[in-house]
Amino acid sequence: MAMNADPNSGSTDATDSADVPGEELLPCGRKLGDVWRQWEDGLADPHTRTCPHCSAALHDLDRLQDVVRRARAEEPPQEDTGALVDRVMDVVRLELRPGRTLPLGASAEDDWIVEAAAAKVFRAAADSLPGVRTGSCRIAPAGSGAAAPARRARGPVAVRVEIVVAATVNLQRIAEQVREEVFAAADGLLGMEVGSVDVTVTDVVPEDDLAEGGPR
Protein backbone atom coordinates (compact mmCIF):
# COMPACT_ATOMS: atom_id res chain seq x y z
CA MET A 1 0.00 0.00 0.00
CA ALA A 2 1.54 3.28 -1.05
CA MET A 3 1.82 6.04 1.49
CA ASN A 4 2.22 9.61 0.38
CA ALA A 5 4.12 12.05 2.57
CA ASP A 6 2.13 14.95 1.17
CA PRO A 7 -1.55 14.16 1.05
CA ASN A 8 -2.25 17.34 -0.84
CA SER A 9 -0.21 16.12 -3.78
CA GLY A 10 -2.93 13.63 -4.53
CA SER A 11 -5.78 16.09 -4.60
CA THR A 12 -5.75 16.67 -8.31
CA ASP A 13 -7.86 15.79 -11.27
CA ALA A 14 -6.91 13.45 -14.02
CA THR A 15 -5.59 16.34 -15.99
CA ASP A 16 -2.59 17.28 -13.92
CA SER A 17 -0.06 15.35 -15.90
CA ALA A 18 2.84 17.40 -17.21
CA ASP A 19 1.94 17.22 -20.87
CA VAL A 20 -1.59 16.77 -22.04
CA PRO A 21 -2.27 16.43 -25.75
CA GLY A 22 -4.43 19.17 -27.18
CA GLU A 23 -3.48 21.88 -24.71
CA GLU A 24 -3.88 25.37 -26.09
CA LEU A 25 -0.64 27.25 -26.62
CA LEU A 26 -0.54 31.02 -26.69
CA PRO A 27 1.66 32.72 -29.32
CA CYS A 28 4.20 33.43 -26.57
CA GLY A 29 4.60 29.71 -25.93
CA ARG A 30 2.76 29.64 -22.60
CA LYS A 31 -0.07 27.15 -22.13
CA LEU A 32 -3.42 28.86 -21.80
CA GLY A 33 -4.49 26.48 -19.03
CA ASP A 34 -1.32 27.22 -17.05
CA VAL A 35 -1.75 30.98 -17.44
CA TRP A 36 -5.35 30.80 -16.17
CA ARG A 37 -4.54 28.51 -13.29
CA GLN A 38 -1.60 30.63 -12.13
CA TRP A 39 -3.76 33.73 -12.29
CA GLU A 40 -6.54 32.11 -10.26
CA ASP A 41 -3.98 30.91 -7.74
CA GLY A 42 -2.49 34.42 -7.50
CA LEU A 43 0.83 33.18 -8.86
CA ALA A 44 1.10 35.26 -12.04
CA ASP A 45 4.78 35.88 -12.82
CA PRO A 46 6.40 38.97 -14.43
CA HIS A 47 6.04 37.47 -17.91
CA THR A 48 2.30 37.05 -17.51
CA ARG A 49 1.89 40.63 -16.31
CA THR A 50 3.76 42.12 -19.26
CA CYS A 51 3.07 39.69 -22.11
CA PRO A 52 0.27 40.99 -24.40
CA HIS A 53 -0.87 37.45 -25.24
CA CYS A 54 -1.15 36.38 -21.61
CA SER A 55 -2.84 39.67 -20.71
CA ALA A 56 -5.38 39.23 -23.48
CA ALA A 57 -6.12 35.67 -22.34
CA LEU A 58 -6.64 36.82 -18.77
CA HIS A 59 -8.90 39.63 -19.93
CA ASP A 60 -11.02 37.05 -21.73
CA LEU A 61 -11.14 34.95 -18.57
CA ASP A 62 -12.44 37.97 -16.67
CA ARG A 63 -15.10 38.56 -19.32
CA LEU A 64 -16.10 34.92 -19.23
CA GLN A 65 -16.50 34.98 -15.47
CA ASP A 66 -18.58 38.15 -15.73
CA VAL A 67 -20.87 36.49 -18.25
CA VAL A 68 -21.29 33.46 -16.01
CA ARG A 69 -22.02 35.62 -12.98
CA ARG A 70 -24.69 37.51 -14.91
CA ALA A 71 -26.18 34.24 -16.14
CA ARG A 72 -26.32 33.01 -12.57
CA ALA A 73 -28.07 36.18 -11.45
CA GLU A 74 -30.66 35.79 -14.20
CA GLU A 75 -31.41 32.11 -13.60
CA PRO A 76 -34.73 31.22 -11.95
CA PRO A 77 -34.31 30.83 -8.20
CA GLN A 78 -35.58 27.25 -8.17
CA GLU A 79 -32.56 26.18 -10.17
CA ASP A 80 -29.46 24.99 -8.37
CA THR A 81 -27.49 28.13 -9.09
CA GLY A 82 -25.11 28.08 -6.17
CA ALA A 83 -22.30 26.32 -8.00
CA LEU A 84 -23.04 27.45 -11.54
CA VAL A 85 -19.89 29.52 -11.88
CA ASP A 86 -17.78 26.62 -10.71
CA ARG A 87 -19.54 24.23 -13.04
CA VAL A 88 -19.08 26.41 -16.10
CA MET A 89 -15.47 27.11 -15.26
CA ASP A 90 -15.02 23.36 -14.86
CA VAL A 91 -16.20 22.97 -18.43
CA VAL A 92 -13.63 25.49 -19.57
CA ARG A 93 -10.87 23.75 -17.67
CA LEU A 94 -11.92 20.37 -19.02
CA GLU A 95 -11.70 21.77 -22.50
CA LEU A 96 -8.21 23.04 -21.91
CA ARG A 97 -6.98 19.88 -20.23
CA PRO A 98 -9.22 17.05 -21.36
CA GLY A 99 -6.78 14.17 -20.84
CA ARG A 100 -7.16 11.03 -22.87
CA THR A 101 -10.20 10.14 -24.93
CA LEU A 102 -11.80 6.96 -23.56
CA PRO A 103 -14.44 4.59 -24.94
CA LEU A 104 -18.09 4.84 -23.93
CA GLY A 105 -20.47 1.94 -24.55
CA ALA A 106 -19.68 -1.37 -26.21
CA SER A 107 -16.55 -2.14 -28.20
CA ALA A 108 -18.26 -1.80 -31.56
CA GLU A 109 -19.61 1.68 -30.82
CA ASP A 110 -17.98 4.99 -31.67
CA ASP A 111 -18.82 6.95 -28.54
CA TRP A 112 -16.17 8.54 -26.35
CA ILE A 113 -15.65 10.61 -23.24
CA VAL A 114 -12.65 12.68 -22.18
CA GLU A 115 -10.71 11.36 -19.21
CA ALA A 116 -11.20 14.46 -17.08
CA ALA A 117 -15.00 14.24 -17.27
CA ALA A 118 -15.09 10.54 -16.42
CA ALA A 119 -12.55 10.99 -13.62
CA LYS A 120 -14.72 13.69 -12.08
CA VAL A 121 -17.65 11.27 -11.95
CA PHE A 122 -15.52 8.56 -10.36
CA ARG A 123 -14.03 10.92 -7.81
CA ALA A 124 -17.48 12.13 -6.81
CA ALA A 125 -18.62 8.52 -6.43
CA ALA A 126 -15.72 7.69 -4.14
CA ASP A 127 -16.14 10.95 -2.21
CA SER A 128 -19.71 9.95 -1.41
CA LEU A 129 -18.36 7.39 1.05
CA PRO A 130 -17.92 8.60 4.63
CA GLY A 131 -14.32 8.72 5.73
CA VAL A 132 -12.95 9.09 2.20
CA ARG A 133 -11.40 12.06 0.40
CA THR A 134 -10.46 11.31 -3.17
CA GLY A 135 -7.25 12.54 -4.73
CA SER A 136 -6.13 11.90 -8.27
CA CYS A 137 -8.02 9.60 -10.61
CA ARG A 138 -6.39 8.37 -13.79
CA ILE A 139 -8.12 6.29 -16.42
CA ALA A 140 -6.30 4.43 -19.16
CA PRO A 141 -7.47 2.27 -22.02
CA ALA A 142 -7.04 -1.31 -20.82
CA GLY A 143 -3.81 -2.95 -21.88
CA SER A 144 -2.37 0.28 -23.18
CA GLY A 145 0.28 0.70 -20.52
CA ALA A 146 0.73 4.04 -18.83
CA ALA A 147 3.65 5.19 -20.96
CA ALA A 148 2.15 5.31 -24.45
CA PRO A 149 -1.59 4.67 -24.52
CA ALA A 150 -2.98 4.00 -27.94
CA ARG A 151 -5.07 6.85 -29.27
CA ARG A 152 -8.75 6.01 -29.19
CA ALA A 153 -8.36 2.34 -28.27
CA ARG A 154 -11.64 0.54 -27.53
CA GLY A 155 -12.12 -1.92 -24.67
CA PRO A 156 -12.56 -1.85 -20.90
CA VAL A 157 -10.56 0.85 -19.16
CA ALA A 158 -8.30 0.63 -16.12
CA VAL A 159 -9.04 3.10 -13.32
CA ARG A 160 -6.48 4.14 -10.71
CA VAL A 161 -7.78 6.23 -7.85
CA GLU A 162 -5.97 7.62 -4.84
CA ILE A 163 -7.78 8.24 -1.57
CA VAL A 164 -7.07 9.72 1.83
CA VAL A 165 -9.04 7.96 4.54
CA ALA A 166 -10.06 8.61 8.11
CA ALA A 167 -8.16 6.66 10.74
CA THR A 168 -11.43 5.16 11.90
CA VAL A 169 -12.16 3.16 8.74
CA ASN A 170 -11.10 -0.34 7.82
CA LEU A 171 -8.65 0.13 4.95
CA GLN A 172 -9.42 -3.06 3.09
CA ARG A 173 -13.18 -2.60 3.40
CA ILE A 174 -13.11 1.05 2.34
CA ALA A 175 -10.93 0.23 -0.68
CA GLU A 176 -13.44 -2.40 -1.73
CA GLN A 177 -16.31 0.06 -1.26
CA VAL A 178 -14.50 2.62 -3.44
CA ARG A 179 -14.08 -0.02 -6.12
CA GLU A 180 -17.79 -0.83 -5.95
CA GLU A 181 -18.75 2.85 -6.17
CA VAL A 182 -16.53 3.38 -9.21
CA PHE A 183 -17.88 0.30 -10.99
CA ALA A 184 -21.45 1.38 -10.20
CA ALA A 185 -20.86 4.94 -11.43
CA ALA A 186 -19.17 3.70 -14.60
CA ASP A 187 -22.16 1.54 -15.46
CA GLY A 188 -25.01 3.60 -14.07
CA LEU A 189 -23.91 7.17 -14.81
CA LEU A 190 -21.68 6.81 -17.85
CA GLY A 191 -22.10 3.44 -19.55
CA MET A 192 -18.35 2.87 -19.58
CA GLU A 193 -16.81 -0.59 -19.45
CA VAL A 194 -14.29 -0.75 -16.62
CA GLY A 195 -11.91 -3.69 -16.46
CA SER A 196 -10.12 -2.87 -13.23
CA VAL A 197 -10.15 -0.34 -10.40
CA ASP A 198 -6.93 0.05 -8.42
CA VAL A 199 -7.31 1.95 -5.17
CA THR A 200 -4.28 3.45 -3.43
CA VAL A 201 -4.58 4.82 0.09
CA THR A 202 -2.13 7.72 0.10
CA ASP A 203 -2.69 8.80 3.69
CA VAL A 204 -4.59 7.99 6.87
CA VAL A 205 -5.64 11.09 8.80
CA PRO A 206 -7.75 11.92 11.86
CA GLU A 207 -11.43 12.14 10.97
CA ASP A 208 -11.54 15.86 11.79
CA ASP A 209 -8.70 16.58 9.34
CA LEU A 210 -10.61 14.81 6.61
CA ALA A 211 -13.68 16.96 7.16
CA GLU A 212 -11.58 20.13 6.93
CA GLY A 213 -10.67 19.23 3.35
CA GLY A 214 -14.30 19.81 2.48
CA PRO A 215 -16.15 18.75 -0.62
CA ARG A 216 -14.47 19.44 -3.93
Partner 1 sequence: MTADGEPVELTERIAQAVAGVPGVAFLRPGLAGLLRSSVAARATGRRVNPEESRAKSAVRVGQGSAPGTLAIEVSVVLRRGHRAVDVTREIRAAVRRTVPAEAENRPPARVTITVTGLV
Give 92 or 129: the residue with its C-beta nearer to partner 1: 92
Among 7, 100, 120, 210, indicate the residue that binds partner 1 (CB under 8 A).
Answer: 120
What part of residues 186-205 is at the interface with partner 1 (CB under 8 A)? 188-192
- CA-based nearest residue to 209, from 2, 11, 61: 11
- CA-based nearest residue to 142, from 104, 98, 196, 96: 196
165 binds partner 1 (CB under 8 A): no
206 binds partner 1 (CB under 8 A): no
**Cα-to-chain-centroid distance, residue 82:** 20
68 binds partner 1 (CB under 8 A): no
Q: Which residues of 190-204 are buried (b: 16+ CB within 10 A; e: fewer)?
A: bebbbeebebbbbbb
CB-based burial label for 161 (10 Å; 0-12, 13-18, 19+): buried
- Work out how close the CB of 143 gets to partner 1 at its nearest, in angstroms, rounded to a whole number: 21
- Work out how close the CB of 130 gets to partner 1 at its nearest, in angstroms, rounded to a whole number: 22
Chain contacts with partner 1 (rule: CB under 8 A) = 24, 26-27, 32, 52-53, 56-57, 60-61, 64, 87-88, 90-92, 94-96, 98, 101, 104-105, 109-114, 116-117, 120-121, 188-192
